[in-house]
Amino acid sequence: MIVRDLPVGRINLDTGAFQVLNEVEFACKSSGDCCRMNEIPVTEGEIEAIQEHGWELDQFLVSLSPVVIPGKTDGARIKSYILKKKPFSRECVFLDEHNRCKIHEYKPFACRMYPFSYEVIDKNQIEIRVHVQSVCRNVQAGMTKNGNSMQIMKGIFSLLKDKFLSE
């Protein structure tokens, strides 16, 4: 059986309780791989935030036609747009020559979560997963002795709280 997503843990959004399901080890080393290899979805709210910092739509969106992606809650669908790549390259337009993000302070939620994703299990429970075949070289899953799943989930918890409180 091919395991695509490994559950890292669960978070109770009401109580802030964490449960580690699998130990993984991750620290971003700014390789920029994720900014080259992935199609990055942005929501309308995120687009407005980027525009507020002086960027024009034609500088950073592939198209003004949205794509619809499955949401994380019951049957929801999210209207999204895709970030542009640099000409003749697979790099996101916001990646600079030092592998830094030019819009780090207001970058899309998908970039903040990567290489993790979440699934809403029930009203308050959220499961955090990592794609074990992701392009990120800095994820060790399964056999790691230096796991930091708990620390990862604490970071994701504050990210998700901001997201859910702002929706």
Give yes or no for a contact between 75 and 129, defined as CB atoms under 8 angstroms apart: no
Asked if residue 92 binds ligand SF4 (CB under 6 A), the reply is yes
Q: How far is the CB of 143 from ligand SF4 (least distance, A)?
A: 28
Terminal-residue alpha carbon distance, the chain: 37
Looking at the Cβ atoms of 97 and 167, the one nearer to ligand SF4 is: 97
Looking at the Cβ atoms of 111 and 126, the one nearer to ligand SF4 is: 111
Q: Amino acid identity, residue 16? A: G
Q: How far is the CB of 38 from ligand SF4 (least distance, A)?
A: 7
Other Cβ atoms within 10 Å of 48 Cβ, number: 11
Looking at the Cβ atoms of 115 and 147, the one nearer to ligand SF4 is: 115
Residues whose CB falls within 8 Å of the CB of residue 13, separated by 6 or more in sequence, listed in order:
124, 125, 126, 157, 160, 161, 164
Site mask for ligand SF4 (CB under 6 A), range 37-66, x = bound: ---x--------------------------
